[in-house]
């Protein structure tokens, strides 16, 4: 199993580019099931989650080939509407295919999804919404059997603004008869990107980015090309990496307003951050003040996907802080690994209490999930001595060779077998 060997203490200096967003690319890939003509997706990042979503599409009879960093996708020959557990369990976004399969084929049999071990991650909101649109669903033996022969437009009121449920219901509505309205939906930028992508293919969707989305069903979609938005979580990760290791980094191909909640917190802690168009410039050469209190919320609140990285930063800030994780019930699993490095953190259910220490010390640590794993890498950058981060396959799901990007900024990090 590969691991990262990090020799801490090196500052980060230089310029990096941020890839397209994993959490935009994945629903967009799932939504290509709805289209029977060629689609070209540009700037495809080298994330394992994307590779695994492509395998799911190919398993449905969709042709996908990569030409440089472009994905050429054609769903004309798609005919299967079955996703076996060995494919579905590999990633959360396998469930996003359900809405698209029902929109295209009016039936589907999919296994329960997998994804990061950060909570129970039920799909009740997805299924309740589809039932509200007339889909008949039978769950048995770990499979979700759906009959959408009588699916039609209607009103779905989400009990919680679930990102995945919102995206699934958008896809179910695109080729649906009538109008589908989703109330109390998620407002993440990746949902706006999904709307814009599908409208570019001839769909009729309005309201993404607000709490009500309306989809007017159309007969068919035509082909087209698209470049998904920049990954706000990767951008935020490198902002926090610079805050922890110190240095001066320019981060290009970003949309600063998509992570303004983080920028605000870091500036208040003492980071110098300037924004210009699609670039952000961060300078940090002194120990930061702690954030005090932070809680994760649905967008535009502080993103849960930056919680682990922010917690790692707090372990070396001046003062104490409290972080409340409101979205996922077990998203502090990486904390014991930080404690091995000398962090002073206490966790009680969804609340972490952090007392900043002068320094962390290198240790053998184990990734527990994608963002918890990258938080350990950030800790290793500023720890004294050597840190080995194991189980880095978690990290590769959402970062493309992060060791190369960090090395280009001056970090001493290498991938070893």
Task: Dig out the tokens for 367 from the structure.
Answer: 């990734």
- Distance of closest approach, residue 160 Cβ to ligand EPZ, in angstroms: 5
User: Which residues would be at the binding site for ligand EPZ (CB under 6 A)?
Assistant: 22-23, 26, 92-93, 116, 119, 121-126, 160, 162-165, 186, 304-305, 327-328, 370-371, 398
CB 197 within 8 A of CB 226: yes
CB 197 within 8 A of CB 171: no
Instruction: Report the alpha-carbon distance of residue 389 to residue 410 in Å, rounded.
Output: 18
- Distance of closest approach, residue 332 Cβ to ligand EPZ, in angstroms: 14
- Distance of closest approach, residue 272 Cβ to ligand EPZ, in angstroms: 28
Residue whose C-alpha is closest to residue 169's, from 202, 123, 200, 122: 123
Q: Which is nearer to ligand EPZ, 235 or 360 (CB)?
A: 235
Q: Which is nearer to ligand EPZ, 75 or 398 (CB)?
A: 398
Residue whose C-alpha is closest to residue 290's, from 262, 264, 270, 261: 270
Q: Which is nearer to ligand EPZ, 253 or 326 (CB)?
A: 326
Distances (CA, A) of 271 to 86, 240, 246, 283, 301: 45, 10, 10, 6, 20
- Distance of closest approach, residue 346 Cβ to ligand EPZ, in angstroms: 23
Catalytic one of 35, 44, 81, 116: 116
Instruction: Report the alpha-carbon distance of residue 30 to residue 57 in Å, rounded.
Output: 7
Q: Which is nearer to ligand EPZ, 10 or 371 (CB)?
A: 371
Residue whose C-alpha is closest to residue 105's, from 155, 64, 53, 151: 151
Instruction: Report the alpha-carbon distance of residue 258 to residue 137 in Å, rounded.
Output: 36
Residue nearest to ligand EPZ as judged by C-beta position = 164
Q: Which is nearer to ligand EPZ, 305 or 337 (CB)?
A: 305
- Distance of closest approach, residue 296 Cβ to ligand EPZ, in angstroms: 9
Instruction: Report the alpha-carbon distance of residue 121 to residue 402 in Å, rounded.
Output: 27
Q: Which is nearer to ligand EPZ, 11 or 121 (CB)?
A: 121
Q: Which is nearer to ligand EPZ, 85 or 384 (CB)?
A: 85
146 is catalytic: no
254 three-state secondary structure: coil
- Distance of closest approach, residue 274 Cβ to ligand EPZ, in angstroms: 27
Location of structure tokens 């682990």: 308
Residue whose C-alpha is closest to residue 405's, from 374, 359, 384: 374
Residue whose C-alpha is closest to residue 233's, from 60, 361, 47, 2: 47
- Distance of closest approach, residue 125 Cβ to ligand EPZ, in angstroms: 3
What amino acid positions are annotated as catalytic residues?
A: 116
């Amino acid at each position: 199993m590969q691991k990262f060997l990090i020799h801490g203490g090196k500052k980060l200096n230089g310029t990096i580019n941020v890839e397209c967003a994993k959490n935009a690319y994945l629903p967009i890939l799932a939504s290509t099931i709805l289209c029977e003509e060629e689609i070209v997706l540009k700037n495809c990042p080298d994330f394992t989650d994307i590779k695994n979503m492509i395998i799911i599409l190919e398993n449905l009879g969709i042709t996908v080939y990569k030409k440089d960093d472009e994905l050429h996708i054609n769903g004309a020959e798609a005919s299967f509407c079955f996703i076996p557990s060995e494919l579905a369990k590999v990633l959360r976004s396998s469930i996003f295919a359900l809405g698209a399969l029902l929109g295209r084929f009016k039936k589907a049999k999919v296994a329960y999804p997998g994804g990061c071990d950060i909570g129970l991650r039920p799909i009740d909101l997805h299924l309740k919404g589809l039932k509200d649109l007339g889909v008949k669903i039978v769950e048995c033996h770990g499979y979700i059997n759906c009959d959408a022969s009588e699916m039609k437009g209607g009103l779905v009121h989400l009990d919680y603004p679930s990102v995945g449920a919102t995206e699934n219901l958008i896809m179910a509505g695109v080729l649906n008869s009538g109008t589908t309205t989703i109330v109390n939906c998620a407002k993440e930028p990746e949902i706006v990107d999904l709307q814009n992508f599908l409208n570019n293919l001839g769909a009729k969707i309005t309201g993404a980015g607000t709490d009500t989305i309306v989809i007017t069903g159309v007969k068919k979609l035509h082909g087209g090309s698209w470049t998904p938005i920049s990954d706000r979580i990767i951008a935020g990760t490198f902002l926090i990496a610079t805050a922890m290791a110190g240095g001066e980094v320019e981060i290009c191909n970003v949309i600063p307003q998509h992570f303004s909640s983080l920028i605000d917190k870091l500036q208040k802690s003492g980071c110098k951050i300037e924004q210009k168009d699609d670039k952000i410039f961060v300078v940090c050469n002194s120990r930061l003040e702690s954030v005090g209190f932070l809680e994760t919320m649905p967008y535009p609140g502080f993103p849960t996907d930056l919680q682990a990285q922010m917690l790692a930063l707090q372990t070396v800030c001046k003062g104490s802080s409290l972080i409340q994780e409101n979205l996922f019930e077990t998203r502090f699993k990486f904390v014991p690994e930080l404690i091995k490095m000398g962090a002073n953190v206490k966790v009680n259910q969804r609340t972490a209490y952090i007392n900043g220490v002068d320094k962390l010390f290198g240790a053998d640590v184990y990734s527990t999930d994608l963002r918890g794993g990258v938080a350990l890498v950030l800790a290793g950058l500023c720890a004294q001595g050597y840190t080995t981060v194991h189980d880095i396959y978690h990290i590769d799901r959402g970062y493309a060779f992060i060791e190369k990007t960090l090395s280009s900024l001056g970090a001493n990090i290498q991938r070893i077998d």
